[in-house]
């Protein structure tokens, strides 16, 4: 095996404050380097002039292929990281604006169509997700005679490579109050990730009055008020959570919403000083196919979890006695599960079970299929076959969002709101793009 030069392109900005996709890209870069390859992590803005010309493999997320057309049209083998089903997240965005809802979905589907048509190898996060992405690949013509003859299981086309846990020892250095001075209560329930529109912090907030009856000093700390990607529109859920906590008389006392996105260095301190990790989500398609990476932080820290049911990781924690799983939209059941785990003896046992799951989620094991591909990169068999390559291109051409799609979006705005609505939306987009450019 010779060392290969690998470009790893994040869907999110790389820096001190990073969301899940960027954290994953840094982990991919590290694991590939440990495997002997020359890996270079970048975000699209940092290589806007074009990708390096001497790369042997590229790993991409999100809109990288759209933003880097030279890479998309090159012969470089491309790995597409599909661990995050962003098109299902898009169904929860756009607030009450039907045009914005359609625009967000249109952009997501356009990005996904480009990824699936161009990729040579695909990664997903779980067996459940693999079912989703096999359906997408089949609809795009990627499950065809060439790929079937190469591997009838399609494992060589689509592999499970989940999010992982850091190999570094869990080593907190400060207390909760060092980072969030108001977090002086006890016990502390930690929502250790973004307040995304597809999640349900409201259920956890509504569980707090009952928890406080038994533990008057209890506090719920919700992280992730402001996303590190400034190009993203603010999540409506942040405002909804504030309003519900205020309505219940809990805001800035029993419920703290931390507006700043924490750094990687800070997360160990907050996880170590929490008593429970909490997560709630509603019953919808995004939940079914999600891989809740914040729960891996709970495992890393040995932090017992209370979660609503629906996703694979919450199910794993419950099965192995590392947490409790309750029905969605049920604050009373959520509070009851929290009170059970706040019993010191129960919490100690569940914490021990939580730590024991860490060895099953190490980054080196999780990314082994990616390392194997980078060791011996190749063009996908169907893309190397002119006949199937034409089939893929024909299908992609029928679904491709190009100039006609932009015109269709303009027409939608005119149909719904008229010329003034179109002008207002155009100005909002221009301001958002200017903000993204300024960083």
Nearest to 101, CA basis, from 233, 240, 284, 288: 233
Rounded (5°) CA angle 418-421-422 = 85
Give the pLDDT score at 210: 98
Q: Is the dihedral of CA 381, 132, 85, 165 positive or negative?
A: negative
Q: Inter-axis angle of helices 127-139 and 98-118, to 10 degrees?
A: 80
Torsion of CA 81, 358, 22, 24, to 10 degrees: -30
Q: What is the pTM of this model?
A: 0.89
- The band of 437, judged by pLDDT with boundaries at 50, 70 and 90, is very low
Nearest to 145, CA basis, from 346, 414, 389: 389
Same domain, 154 and 188: no
* 420 in any annotated domain: no
* 268 in any annotated domain: yes
Residue with tokens 């009450």: 96
Task: Give the mean pLDDT of 142-148.
Answer: 96
Task: Give the mean pLDDT of 258-273.
Answer: 86
Question: What is the CA 359 to chain-centroid distance, rounded?
Answer: 22
Give the pLDDT score at 201: 97
pLDDT tens-digit readout, 189-209: 999 988 999 999 999 999 999
**How far, in Å, CA of 403 to CA of 209, rounded?**
53
Residues 6 or more apart whose Cβ sits within 8 Å of residue 238? 195, 225, 226, 257
Q: Is the dihedral of CA 282, 357, 300, 185 positive or negative?
A: positive
CB atoms within 10 A of CB 304: 30
Give the pLDDT score at 288: 95
- The tally of domains found in the chain comes to 2
Same domain, 60 and 148: yes
Query: What CATH number does the domain containing 262 carry?
Result: 3.40.50.2000
* 44 in any annotated domain: yes
Same domain, 380 and 394: yes
Nearest to 380, CA basis, from 7, 116, 60: 116
Same domain, 283 and 337: yes
Tokens of 290: 């999600």
pLDDT above 50: residue 83: yes
* 203 in any annotated domain: yes
Same domain, 181 and 148: no
Give the pLDDT score at 403: 39
Cis before residue 346, ω within 30 degrees of 0? no
Burial zone of 329 (CB within 10 Å; 0-12 exposed, 13-18 middle, 19+ buried): middle
Q: Inter-axis angle of helices 294-301 and 344-356, to 10 degrees?
A: 110
Same domain, 356 and 295: yes
Provide the domain limits for residue 262.
176-361
Give the pLDDT score at 410: 65
Tokens of 104: 């967000």
């Amino acid at each position: 095996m010779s060392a290969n030069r690998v470009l790893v392109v994040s869907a999110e900005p790389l820096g001190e404050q990073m969301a899940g996709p960027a954290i994953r890209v840094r982990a991919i870069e590290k694991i590939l380097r440990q495997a002997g390859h020359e890996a270079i992590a970048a975000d699209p803005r940092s290589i806007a002039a074009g990708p390096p010309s001497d790369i042997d493999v590229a790993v991409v997320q999100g809109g990288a292929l759209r933003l880097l057309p030279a890479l998309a049209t090159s012969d470089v083998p491309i790995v597409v990281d599909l661990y995050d089903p962003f098109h299902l997240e898009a169904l929860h965005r756009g607030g009450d604006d039907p045009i914005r809802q359609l625009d967000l979905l249109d952009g997501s589907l356009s990005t996904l169509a480009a990824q699936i048509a161009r990729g040579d190898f695909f990664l997903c996060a779980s067996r459940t997700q693999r079912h989703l992405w096999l359906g997408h690949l089949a609809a795009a013509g990627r499950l065809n005679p060439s790929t079937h003859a190469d591997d009838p299981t399609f494992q060589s086309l689509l592999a499970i490579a989940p999010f992982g846990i850091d190999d570094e020892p869990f080593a907190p250095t400060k207390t909760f109050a060092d980072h969030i001075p108001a977090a002086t209560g006890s016990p502390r329930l930690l929502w250790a990730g973004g307040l995304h529109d597809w999640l349900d912090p409201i259920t956890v907030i509504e569980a707090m009055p009952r928890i406080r009856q038994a533990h008057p000093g209890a506090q719920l700390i919700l992280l992730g008020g402001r996303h590190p990607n400034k190009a993203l529109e603010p999540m409506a859920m942040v405002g909804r959570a504030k309003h519900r906590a205020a309505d219940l008389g809990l805001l800035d006392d029993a419920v703290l919403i931390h507006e700043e996105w924490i750094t990687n260095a800070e997360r160990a301190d907050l996880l170590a000083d929490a008593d429970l990790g909490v997560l709630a989500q509603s019953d919808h398609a995004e939940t079914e196919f999600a891989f809740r990476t914040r729960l891996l932080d709970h495992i890393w820290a040995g932090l017992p979890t209370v979660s609503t049911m629906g996703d694979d990781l919450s199910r794993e924690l419950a099965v192995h006695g590392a947490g409790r799983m309750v029905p969605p939209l049920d604050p009373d059941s959520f509070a009851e599960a929290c009170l059970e785990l706040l019993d010191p003896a129960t919490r100690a046992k569940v914490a021990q079970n939580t730590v024991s799951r860490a060895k099953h989620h190490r980054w080196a094991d999780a990314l082994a299929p990616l390392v194997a591909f980078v060791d011996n990169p190749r063009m996908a068999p169907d893309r190397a076959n002119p006949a199937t390559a034409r089939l893929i291109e024909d299908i992609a051409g029928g679904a491709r969002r190009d100039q006609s799609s932009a015109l269709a979006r303009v027409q939608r705005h005119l149909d719904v709101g008229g010329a003034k609505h179109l002008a207002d939306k155009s100005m909002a987009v221009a301001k958002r793009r200017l903000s993204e450019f300024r960083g």
